Structure 1
Amino acid sequence: MPGHPLNPEAGSTPVPDDPREVAAALRAGELSLGYAPYYGFRYGERGRRFTGSDSAFLVTLSTHTRPVVERQIRWLAGLLSNRGMPSVLLEQHLRVLHRTLCRAIPRRAASYERLLEAAELLREVRRAHLPDDVCRAIARSFARDAGLPPTRLALGTGWLLAGAVADERSGIRSAVASVASWFTDPELFPPAFVAAVHRALSEARAAARPGPAPR
Structure 2
Amino acid sequence: MQPVSREVEARTAALASASVQALYADPFWEARYGAQRARRFGDEDAVFHLRYLVQALDSQRPALLEEYARWLRTLLFTRGMCTLHLDQHFEGLAHALQAEGFGPDTLPHIYVQSAREALRHVGGPAQRLEAATPALVQDVVRRVGGELTPENRLRLEQETRLHLSYLADALALDRADLWEAHLHWYVGFWPRRGLEPLTFPHLLGALKAALGPEHAEARTLLARAPVSWEELHS
* TM-score (norm. length: structure 1): 0.71
202-211 vs 118-127, greater mean Cα deviation: 202-211
Q: RMSD of aligned C-alpha atoms?
A: 3.5
Shift in Å, 1:155 = 2.6
Conserved 8 A contact 2:102-2:108: no
Match of 2:185 in 1: 182
CA distance in 2, matches of 1:111, 1:53: 19
Shift of 1:141: 5.4
2:113 is aligned, of 108, 111, 116, to: 116
Specify the structure having the higher radius of gyration (Cα): 2
SS of residue matched to 1:184: helix
Aligned counterpart, 1:24: 15
Report the AA paired with residue 137 of structure 1: Q
Matching of residue 89 in structure 1 with residue 85 in structure 2: yes
Instruction: Tell me the matched-pair count.
Output: 194
Work out the percentage of aligned pairs sharing the same amino acid. Answer: 22
Distance 1:97 1:198 in 2: 32
CA offset at residue 161 of structure 1? 0.8
For each residue in 1:100-126, what CA deviation from the matched residue of structure 2 results, as whole angstroms up to 9, or x when unmatched? 123225399313422111112224656
Aligned in 2, Cα 1:166/1:186: closer, same or farther, shift over 3 Å?
closer
Structure 2 counterpart of 1:132: 133
Compute the displacement of 1:87 (Å).
0.6
* CA distance in 1 between partners of 2:10 and 2:98 (Å): 15
Determine which of 13, 27, 31 is the counterpart of 1:41: 31
Q: Please identify which structure carries the higher helix content.
A: 2
Give, as a single letter, the amino acid of the residue that structure 2 aligns with 1:196: H
171-180 vs 90-99, greater mean Cα deviation: 171-180
Contact 1:86 1:163 in 2 (8 A): yes
Q: Which has the higher mean CA deviation after the structures are superposed, 16-25 or 165-174? A: 16-25
Q: Is residue 143–residue 158 contact of structure 1 (8 Å, CA) maintained in 2?
A: no
Query: In 2, Cα distance between the equivalents of 1:26 and 1:72?
Result: 20
Gaps of 5+ in 2: 1-6, 219-234
